[in-house]
Chain A
Amino acid sequence: MTVLCLVEPDGAGPADASLRALALARSLAESGNEDLAAVVVGEPWPGVLAALAGYGVTDLHAISSPRLTGYAPAAWGRSLAGLIAATSPSAVLAAATDHGSEVMAHLGAITGLDVVANCVAASTARSGGCQLVRYRWAGSLLEDAILATSPALLTVATDAPAPDWASAPGEDPTVHAYEPDLTEVDLLVQATEAAIGGGVASLATARVVVGGGRGVGGPDGFGPLEELARLLGGAVGVSRVVTSEGWRPHRQQVGQTGTKIAPELYLACGISGAIQHMAGCQAAKHIVAINTDPDAPIISRADYAVIGDVNQVIPALVTAIEDGRPNRG
């Protein structure tokens, strides 16, 4: 039997979230002594074959159809359902990205099978079926579960463990072209793409994030945080209360219902550390909290803390950094 994993592109290679899904797919395949095959939609793009070879992928199914030009969620789900019928895999996985989650939901609806979302570990259970660990509350809780239906349909949390082996040169996987049988209904919903204006520094990939919460005090208090973010080459993020109050736009929200960040340093300023917020910054390497309340939940989740008012500490920090730079101005 085979474990199938949908792989999405990002630039020249597979997306980071897809590599994490592939890592989980590989450990599931190994636990059941099965093969690992990847699935892509469209022609395998340059670099994907070499990249996948190093991750132990022996076969690659390339879904293509002249009718399938862009992203079409129901049609992608229908295509995977066809691939299940054609190849009888034991499991189908995808990263829990917007595309991956949406396509797997369609696949679940089309096949009538369960879909278990946001898995971080999977193995073949002794009783048969699939033993899983998955996120609840965006990772604030873990659920241990058994999935009895087959094939197992899983999405993999986008911050699940990355592959712990390096991609080594290997033999390119064998490519199998698969042309799905699609109907008008499957193709009714298709994305057209448009460019997004403005070069906003990406919060999701920033190396430093300066976060502001209720302690900033109001919509006018974010200047020093922006200045600090600029000095550190980072981005400003905010807690949910800040966007709910309308102080800052929602695209700056870090949290369960905002952006998930994974910076080297997260400087949380005047943020209490609610579960909803921590779900968005738990992947940060280092967390430094600045808060007036030494008993705020963030103090027990941060690595370092300054007990004080952000409206005093941040301007002083900005001045100190500027004074310390050799080429001022």
Chain B
Amino acid sequence: MEILVCVKRVPTVGGTMALTEDGQRVDTRMSGFTVSPHEECAVEEAVRIVERLGGSVTVLTLGPPDAADQVRDMLALGANHGVVLESDGKEWGPLATAKAIESSVARRSQLSSGYDLLLFGNEAADTGDYQVPVRVAHALGLPCVTGIKHLEISAEENKLRARREYRGVEEVFELPLPAVVSVKEGINLPRYPSLPGRLRAKRAALERLSPAWHAEGVRTLGLRLPEGRQHRAQVLGTGVDAVPALVSLLDELGVLS
């Protein structure tokens, strides 16, 4: 089973978020970087499948040269190969991103036997576009399903069964392989990287390519923080002494009846 997992480098955000002075980007001078939680689960899922069925996991990212750090983080979790599609500092939209991934996958298919499964996170933490996997699937002529919380691969039947919950019912999909699937956090609980895993990741040779950027139909004018909850809470008290005030508040809000 040859599996490709696509991940995206995003800033690690904690309790607050700040913007650059021109309002065009999240200020990352004080933050680290990570991959979206859904994507970490996609890598874990791929590693588990390969542990069971054999094969290898390739992790691919499109981003600045430093996005190699995130690929190495994923190699430390058990992925085998890393590919960095180096961007040029521009913001890549979903069409250009999908095109770059498709070219990379198509190139590999010409060189070797190609991938059996392409895994993605359901949506990136920052842009939340929810469309790169579907665009890649259409470009490659592969079946696709998104938002998946349970995945079973049947190598003998060369198909997969994917499940998700929607409006109180479970939806079950069966797709022939090769296929494209995007997953959500909760499909598994990702492992922590092992020390040997970290060392192997640090030394691993990464494939680096520079795909061509192209503009999209969407032009960002700027980012801003929403108005809303930015005030200090009214403190009802300290410790158990605050309980009577808390009970009165719950009563006032009408949730005690």
Contacts and interface: CB of A to CB of B under 8 A. Distances in A.
A1 interface: no
B219 A300 contact: no
Given A105-B146, A274-B13, A289 B239 contact: no
Interface residues of A, number: 100
B173 A303 contact: no
A132 B164 CA distance: 31
Nearest to A281: B229
Given A297-B16, A313-B243, A305 B234 contact: yes
A288 B17 CA distance: 22
B127 interface: yes
B125 interface: yes
Interface in A104-122: 104-106, 108-110, 112-118
A253 B131 contact: no
B30 interface: no
Interface in A75-115: 96-99, 101-102, 104-106, 108-110, 112-115
B233 interface: yes
Interface stretch (B75-83, B106-114, B136-144): B136-144
A321 B167 CA distance: 33
Contacts of B98: 109
A21 B232 CA distance: 33
Interface string B188-229: 010000000000000000000000000011111111111011
Given A108-B135, A189-B144, A287-B229, A306 B238 contact: yes
Contact of B171 (A192, A208, A233, A256): A192
Given A136-B128, A300-B230, A305-B234, A194 B172 contact: yes
Interface residues of B, number: 85
Contacts of A324: 247, 256
Interface stretch (A23-31, A33-41, A61-69, A143-151): A143-151
B118 interface: no
A12 interface: no
A273 interface: yes
A146 B171 contact: no
B230 A109 contact: no
Interface in A203-232: 207-208, 232
A141 B223 contact: yes
A98 B126 CA distance: 18
B186 A253 contact: yes
Given A148-B217, A303-B234, A99 B166 contact: yes
Among the interface residues A102, A104, A251, which one has the most CB atoms of the partner chain B within 10 A?
A102
Contact of B138 (A110, A305, A317): A110
Contact of A302 (B123, B129, B135, B233): B233
A257 B218 contact: no
B53 interface: no
B89 interface: no
B37 interface: yes
Contacts of B13: 137, 140, 274-276
Nearest to B179: A189
A189 B235 contact: no
Contacts of A112: 95
Interface of B: 13-17, 19, 26, 36-38, 93-95, 98, 123, 125-131, 133-135, 137-139, 141, 143-147, 164-173, 175-176, 184-186, 189, 216-226, 228-240, 242-244, 246-247, 249-250, 253-256
Given A101-B130, A109-B135, 4 more contacts: A147-B218, A149-B217, A264-B255, A299-B233
5 contacts: A10-B167, A136-B223, A144-B220, A306-B239, A306-B246
Q: When A and B form their complex, which 8 residue pairs have the shortest distance between CB atoms, in order from nearest?
A: A297-B15, A250-B186, A149-B217, A105-B134, A109-B138, A305-B233, A105-B131, A308-B239
